[in-house]
Amino acid sequence: MARWAPFGGGIHGFVKSVLRVTALKSSFFVDSNRVSIGKGLRLDYIWLQMSKERLVFMFFRCAILAGAILAGIVACAVKAQTLVDLRTQSKSVDFSAASTTKPMKTGTPLPAACGQGEAFFLTTAPAGENFYLCTTQNSWTLQAGATGPTGPTGPTGSTGPTGATGATGANGAIAHIQNGGTNLPVEATLNFSGGGCTDDPTNSRTDCTGNGISGLNIDVNGTVQGSEATLNLISGTGIIQACANNTGANRVDCTPTLDTSYALGRTTDQAGTDHSIIATSSGAGAAFVANGSPTFTTYTENQTLSFIASDAACTAGATLSIDGVGPIALKKIVGGALVGIEASDCLENVPILLRAYGSPVSAFILSPDGTGGAGWVSNVTARSSSQTSVTLATPGPGQYTLNYYADQNGTCTTGANSVSFTFNWTDGTNARAISTGSLTLGATQSTTAGYLSGLMPIYVGSGSVTYTSTILGSCTAGTSSYDVHAALTRLQ
Q: Which one has a higher pLDDT value, 478 or 347?
A: 478
Which range scores top for mean pLDDT: 53-62, 320-329, 363-372?
320-329
CB neighbour burial string for 180-192, b if at least 16 within 10 angstroms, e if fewer: eeeebeebeeeee
Across the chain, what does the average pLDDT equal?
77
**pLDDT value of position 423:** 96
Round the CA-based radius of gyration of the chain to a whole number and report it: 67
**Rounded to whole angstroms, how far apart are CA atoms 269 and 275?**
9
Report whether pLDDT(297) > 70: yes
Q: Give 63's pLDDT tier (boundaries 50, 70, 90).
A: low
What is the Cα 263 distance to its own chain's centre? 38
Rounded to whole angstroms, how far apart are CA atoms 61 and 271?
A: 138
- Residue 396: pLDDT band with limits 50, 70, 90: confident
| Residues 116, 136 contacting (CB under 8 angstroms) | yes
- Report the distance separating Cα 345 and Cα 330, nearest Å: 10
- Rounded average pLDDT over 432-443: 93
What confidence tier does 366 reach under pLDDT thresholds 50, 70, 90? confident
Q: Which residue has the higher pLDDT, 34 or 322?
A: 322
Question: C-alpha angle with apex 456: 353 to 448, nearest 5 degrees?
Answer: 105
**How far is Cα 325 from Cα 339, in angstroms, rounded to an integer?**
21
pLDDT for 417? 94
Confidence band, pLDDT 50/70/90 cuts, at residue 364: very high
Q: Residue 99: its pLDDT value, please?
A: 83
Q: How many CB atoms lie within 10 A of CB 96?
A: 5
The pLDDT of residue 12 is 41
Tell me if 237 sits within 8 A of 221, measured CB to CB: no
Q: Rounded CA gap, 366 and 39, in Å?
A: 151
What confidence score (pLDDT) does residue 114 get? 94
pLDDT at position 8 over 50: no
Q: 308-358: per-residue pLDDT in tens?
A: 898 988 898 899 999 999 999 999 887 667 888 887 678 888 888 899 999
Measure the CA dihedral 54/57/63/68, to 10°.
-130
Cross-strand pairs, 328: 320
pLDDT at 360 over 60: yes
**What is the average per-residue pLDDT within 429-455?**
92
Percentage of residues in the chain having pLDDT higher than 90 = 30
Dist CA 89 CA 80 (whole Å) = 16
**pLDDT tier at 258, thresholds 50, 70, 90:** confident
Average pLDDT over residues 445-458: 92
What is the DSSP track for 197-214?
Answer: EEEEGGGTEEEEESS-S-
Model-level pTM? 0.32
Looking only at the bridges linking them, the beta strands covering 462-472 and 119-122 are unpaired
What are 406-427's pLDDT values in tens digits?
Answer: 999 999 999 999 999 999 999 9
Do the beta carbons of residue 328 and residue 288 sit within 8 Å?
no
Mean pLDDT of 210-215: 53
- pLDDT at residue 188 greater than cutoff 90: no
pLDDT at position 406 is: 95
Name the most confidently modeled range: 7-21, 24-38, 82-96, 283-297. Answer: 283-297
Cβ neighbours, 10 Å, residue 124: 9
Which parts of 410-479 fold into alpha helices (H)? none
What is the per-residue pLDDT across 92-109, written as a single tens digit (0 to 9) for each?
A: 778 778 888 888 889 988
Mean pLDDT for the stretch of residues 458-483: 94
| CA angle (34, 37, 42) in 5-degree steps | 45
Say if strands 276-279 and 304-309 run parallel, antiparallel, or are unpaired.
parallel
237 pLDDT higher than 50? yes
At 408, the amino acid letter reads Q
Query: Quick one: DSSP state of residue 354?
Result: E
The percent of residues above 70 in pLDDT, for the chain, comes to 69
Query: For residues 379 and 437, is the Cβ–Cβ distance under 8 A?
Result: no
Would you call 338 exposed, middle or buried from its count of C-beta atoms within 10 A (0-12, 13-18, 19+)?
middle
The terminus-to-terminus CA distance of the chain in angstroms comes to 170
Q: Is the pLDDT of residue 139 over 70?
A: yes
Read off the pLDDT band of 287 (50, 70, 90). very high
pLDDT band at 13 (very low <50, low <70, confident <90, very high): very low
